[in-house]
Amino acid sequence: MTAPAEDIRTAPEPLLVELLTLAHRRLSTGLSAALAEEDCTVDQWRVLRALADGRGHPMGELAQTLLIPQASLSRLVDALADHGWVYRRQGDQDRRRITAHLSRQGRTRLTRLDALAAAHDASVRRACGGLTDPGQLLRRLAAL
Protein backbone atom coordinates (compact mmCIF):
# COMPACT_ATOMS: atom_id res chain seq x y z
CA MET A 1 0.00 0.00 0.00
CA THR A 2 1.32 3.42 -0.89
CA ALA A 3 1.00 6.51 1.22
CA PRO A 4 -1.52 9.06 -0.06
CA ALA A 5 -0.02 12.02 -1.86
CA GLU A 6 0.24 15.12 0.27
CA ASP A 7 -2.61 17.51 -0.27
CA ILE A 8 -0.76 20.74 -0.95
CA ARG A 9 -3.04 23.68 -1.43
CA THR A 10 -2.24 27.20 -2.34
CA ALA A 11 -3.93 30.10 -0.65
CA PRO A 12 -7.05 31.11 -2.50
CA GLU A 13 -7.06 34.36 -4.45
CA PRO A 14 -8.33 37.07 -2.07
CA LEU A 15 -11.92 38.10 -2.58
CA LEU A 16 -12.73 41.71 -3.37
CA VAL A 17 -14.23 42.20 0.10
CA GLU A 18 -10.96 41.01 1.68
CA LEU A 19 -8.88 43.38 -0.43
CA LEU A 20 -11.21 46.28 0.29
CA THR A 21 -11.20 45.55 4.02
CA LEU A 22 -7.41 45.39 4.19
CA ALA A 23 -7.02 48.51 2.02
CA HIS A 24 -9.55 50.40 4.15
CA ARG A 25 -7.81 49.43 7.37
CA ARG A 26 -4.38 50.40 6.05
CA LEU A 27 -5.64 53.74 4.75
CA SER A 28 -7.65 54.50 7.88
CA THR A 29 -4.77 53.65 10.19
CA GLY A 30 -2.43 56.01 8.34
CA LEU A 31 -5.01 58.79 8.13
CA SER A 32 -5.89 58.34 11.78
CA ALA A 33 -2.25 58.78 12.75
CA ALA A 34 -1.96 61.90 10.58
CA LEU A 35 -5.11 63.49 12.02
CA ALA A 36 -4.06 62.62 15.57
CA GLU A 37 -1.43 65.37 15.20
CA GLU A 38 -4.37 67.78 15.45
CA ASP A 39 -6.19 65.72 18.10
CA CYS A 40 -8.87 64.69 15.62
CA THR A 41 -10.42 61.36 14.64
CA VAL A 42 -11.22 60.25 11.11
CA ASP A 43 -14.96 60.41 11.83
CA GLN A 44 -14.69 63.93 13.26
CA TRP A 45 -12.85 65.02 10.11
CA ARG A 46 -15.51 63.37 7.94
CA VAL A 47 -18.25 65.27 9.77
CA LEU A 48 -16.42 68.58 9.32
CA ARG A 49 -15.94 67.85 5.60
CA ALA A 50 -19.61 66.98 5.16
CA LEU A 51 -20.59 70.30 6.76
CA ALA A 52 -18.12 72.33 4.67
CA ASP A 53 -20.71 73.01 1.95
CA GLY A 54 -22.29 75.62 4.25
CA ARG A 55 -25.86 74.34 3.79
CA GLY A 56 -26.35 72.79 7.23
CA HIS A 57 -27.44 69.18 7.42
CA PRO A 58 -30.11 67.42 9.47
CA MET A 59 -28.57 64.90 11.83
CA GLY A 60 -30.42 61.95 10.27
CA GLU A 61 -29.25 62.88 6.77
CA LEU A 62 -25.69 63.31 8.01
CA ALA A 63 -25.77 59.90 9.72
CA GLN A 64 -27.00 58.27 6.51
CA THR A 65 -24.51 60.06 4.28
CA LEU A 66 -21.52 59.25 6.48
CA LEU A 67 -22.72 55.73 7.42
CA ILE A 68 -22.37 56.53 11.10
CA PRO A 69 -25.05 55.35 13.55
CA GLN A 70 -27.16 58.30 14.68
CA ALA A 71 -26.24 57.90 18.37
CA SER A 72 -22.53 57.89 17.49
CA LEU A 73 -22.98 60.89 15.22
CA SER A 74 -24.73 62.79 18.01
CA ARG A 75 -21.75 62.16 20.31
CA LEU A 76 -19.34 63.26 17.56
CA VAL A 77 -21.28 66.46 16.91
CA ASP A 78 -21.52 67.10 20.68
CA ALA A 79 -17.72 66.89 20.97
CA LEU A 80 -17.21 69.11 17.90
CA ALA A 81 -19.72 71.63 19.27
CA ASP A 82 -17.98 71.64 22.67
CA HIS A 83 -14.82 72.80 20.86
CA GLY A 84 -16.73 75.42 18.88
CA TRP A 85 -16.11 73.79 15.49
CA VAL A 86 -19.75 73.09 14.70
CA TYR A 87 -23.06 74.40 15.95
CA ARG A 88 -26.64 73.22 15.81
CA ARG A 89 -29.62 75.21 14.67
CA GLN A 90 -33.31 74.49 15.17
CA GLY A 91 -35.57 74.69 12.13
CA ASP A 92 -37.67 77.83 11.76
CA GLN A 93 -40.86 75.95 10.90
CA ASP A 94 -40.21 72.67 12.72
CA ARG A 95 -38.35 73.23 16.00
CA ARG A 96 -37.68 69.48 16.22
CA ARG A 97 -35.60 69.61 13.04
CA ILE A 98 -31.99 70.21 14.05
CA THR A 99 -29.31 70.98 11.51
CA ALA A 100 -25.55 70.91 12.08
CA HIS A 101 -23.34 73.65 10.65
CA LEU A 102 -19.61 74.28 10.40
CA SER A 103 -18.45 77.32 12.37
CA ARG A 104 -15.70 79.73 11.30
CA GLN A 105 -13.36 78.04 13.78
CA GLY A 106 -14.37 74.70 12.31
CA ARG A 107 -13.56 75.90 8.80
CA THR A 108 -10.09 76.99 9.95
CA ARG A 109 -9.56 73.66 11.66
CA LEU A 110 -10.78 71.79 8.59
CA THR A 111 -8.23 73.60 6.43
CA ARG A 112 -5.42 72.25 8.65
CA LEU A 113 -6.95 68.76 8.77
CA ASP A 114 -7.44 68.65 5.00
CA ALA A 115 -3.77 69.55 4.52
CA LEU A 116 -2.76 66.58 6.71
CA ALA A 117 -5.18 64.30 4.86
CA ALA A 118 -3.89 65.50 1.48
CA ALA A 119 -0.29 64.81 2.53
CA HIS A 120 -1.32 61.30 3.62
CA ASP A 121 -3.17 60.77 0.35
CA ALA A 122 -0.14 61.88 -1.70
CA SER A 123 2.08 59.51 0.27
CA VAL A 124 -0.27 56.59 -0.37
CA ARG A 125 -0.47 57.41 -4.07
CA ARG A 126 3.34 57.47 -4.30
CA ALA A 127 3.53 54.13 -2.49
CA CYS A 128 1.09 52.67 -5.03
CA GLY A 129 3.33 53.76 -7.89
CA GLY A 130 0.62 55.21 -10.09
CA LEU A 131 -1.32 51.98 -10.47
CA THR A 132 -4.64 52.40 -12.23
CA ASP A 133 -5.92 48.81 -12.40
CA PRO A 134 -8.36 48.51 -9.46
CA GLY A 135 -7.29 44.95 -8.61
CA GLN A 136 -3.59 45.83 -8.57
CA LEU A 137 -4.29 49.02 -6.65
CA LEU A 138 -6.28 47.18 -3.96
CA ARG A 139 -3.58 44.51 -3.66
CA ARG A 140 -0.93 47.21 -3.24
CA LEU A 141 -3.03 49.12 -0.70
CA ALA A 142 -3.76 45.93 1.22
CA ALA A 143 -0.04 45.18 1.40
CA LEU A 144 1.09 48.64 2.61
Cα-based distances in Å from 19 to 29, 32, 50, 64, 121: 15, 20, 27, 24, 18
pLDDT of residue 16: 82
User: What is the share, in percent, of the chain residues with pLDDT greater than 90?
Assistant: 58
The DSSP symbol for 6 reads P
Cβ neighbour number for residue 35 with a 10 Å cutoff: 20
pLDDT band at 34 (very low <50, low <70, confident <90, very high): very high
Element (H, E) at 53: none
Domains and CATH numbers, the chain: 16-143 (1.10.10.10)
Q: Which residue has the higher pLDDT, 80 or 136?
A: 80
pLDDT of residue 28: 92
Is the pLDDT reported for residue 102 higher than 90?
yes
pLDDT of residue 4: 60
The DSSP symbol for 58 reads E
pLDDT band at 101 (very low <50, low <70, confident <90, very high): very high
Q: Which residue has the higher pLDDT, 111 or 6?
A: 111
Task: Return all residues near 86 (Cβ < 8 A) that are at least 6 apart.
Answer: 47, 48, 51, 77, 80, 100, 101, 102, 103, 106
